[in-house]
Amino acid sequence: MKQIEINLHHTHLKKIQELLKYEEPRVIRRCNILSCLHAEMQTSLISQVLHVDPKTIRNTALHFMEHGLDAALFDDNRSGRPIDIDDRERSRIIAMVCANPPSGAYRWTLDLILEEIKNQNILDGKSVSRETVRLILHDHDLKPWREKMWSIEQLTDEYIERMEDVLEVYERPYDPEQPVICVDEKPVALFADSRDRHPAEPGKPTKIDYEYERNGSANVFCGVEPKAGVYLNKVTETRDGWEFGSFLSDIYRQYEGAKKIILVMDNLSTHSENSLHEFLGKADGERLWKEFEVHYTPKHASWLNQAEIAIGMYSRQCLGDGRVKNIDNLNRITNSWNARINKKGTKIQWRFTRSKARLSFGYT
């Protein structure tokens, strides 16, 4: 039998390692098949060790080579009557996952999510598959098995007031004369290769050394107009008030013809009028601040800021798992990503409304 040869990129191997911990048996089986093929094991040996048919091994390898990793690991949606889960029920699942897991569990897993959906009767007795839950989490860019998501220690009046205020802004119809811009920032560690990379060859990925040099860190201010698909990312050395004031000035120039620029951001100390005073001086800073209508998210509620979604996109698509050696390099790739994503005009579909919040959190 002809040996099947495949080469997995290090990002593929990392994803496979994560899926082996949390996914369903058939996905784990396919992960193991690809790992064995990557290690250049014979098909006959893989069949004996994993107790799978050689045809399954060939099909898994073929799907990977022709369509990529996800196609090899996950099945396409099957025909037939789709599972009837509406936006309200989806919101309940998302709200549950974004809260703390039940006592005795450090973090959410797919099995735990399915168990709590049943225990809390979130779907009114309807059953849901692991794959459906996985797709819901994927649509909302949630990966609760990697880290704890936002949590609400106590649903205070202040929390509700600010949450409803932000959600009201999101519910407004799109108005180019009053753009809604969500703002946040992301620290980026700078690492340089200690040794030269070996360039990629046909069928083999680029090879990099494990050693690296630390070059400090930088900051990226991230702004997004979700309903228009406009992304404004700016690289700075720090995230201090002067730098943030400069970023707000950039946003104003981008939307200079607007009647009012609506900002959604958290209440970090630098996210204030004083930052414009530092950058422009008090008189000009006060004048520019009046051009903005500012809405602050509640404390510990970064999930309400759609800039978090934009940061996730930027992190995956622009930074990935690679190394950024210095601030000039970071600035170059960030500007390139800005140009590419803005050409696409990728909009963010936000479905969590005030009515859904009241239903999910049980307040009126």
Q: Note the pLDDT of residue 38.
A: 85
Residues 132, 135, 139, 143: is their CA dihedral positive or negative?
positive
Give the chain's end-to-end CA distance (angstroms, integer). Answer: 67
Q: Per the structure block, which two tokens stand in for 230? A: 């406009």
Copy the structure tokens of residue 132: 């459906």
- Please give the Cα distance from 9 to 244 (Å, whole number): 37
CB atoms within 10 A of CB 152: 18
User: What is the architecture, at CATH level 2, of domain 170-344?
Assistant: 2-Layer Sandwich (3.30)
**Predicted pLDDT at 21:** 62
| Threshold 0.75, pTM exceeds | no
Spatial contact of 4 and 43, defined as CB atoms under 8 Å apart = yes
Please list, in sequence order, all residues whose beta carbon lies within 8 angstroms of the beta carbon of residue 62, skipping any fewer than 6 positions away. none
Residue 324's pLDDT is 85
Distances 155 to 50, 122, 152, 352, 363 between C-alpha atoms, Å? 49, 20, 6, 17, 9
Q: Are 352 and 94 in contact (CB under 8 A)?
A: yes
DSSP letter for 304, please.
Answer: G
> Is the distance from CB of 307 to CB of 206 less than 8 angstroms?
no
Residues in the chain: 364
Handedness of CA 150, 156, 159, 161 (dihedral sign): positive
Tens place of pLDDT per residue across the chain (364 aa): 556 767 777 677 777 777 666 567 788 888 889 888 888 888 888 888 888 888 899 889 888 887 788 778 887 654 444 456 776 677 778 878 877 788 777 777 888 888 888 888 888 777 788 778 887 777 666 665 554 455 555 788 999 999 999 999 999 999 999 999 999 999 998 887 645 554 545 655 554 444 557 788 899 999 999 999 999 999 999 999 999 999 999 999 999 989 999 999 998 999 999 999 999 999 999 999 999 999 999 987 888 999 999 998 898 888 876 778 899 999 999 999 999 999 999 999 898 899 988 988 888 8
Question: What is the distance of C-alpha 82 from the center of its chain?
Answer: 26
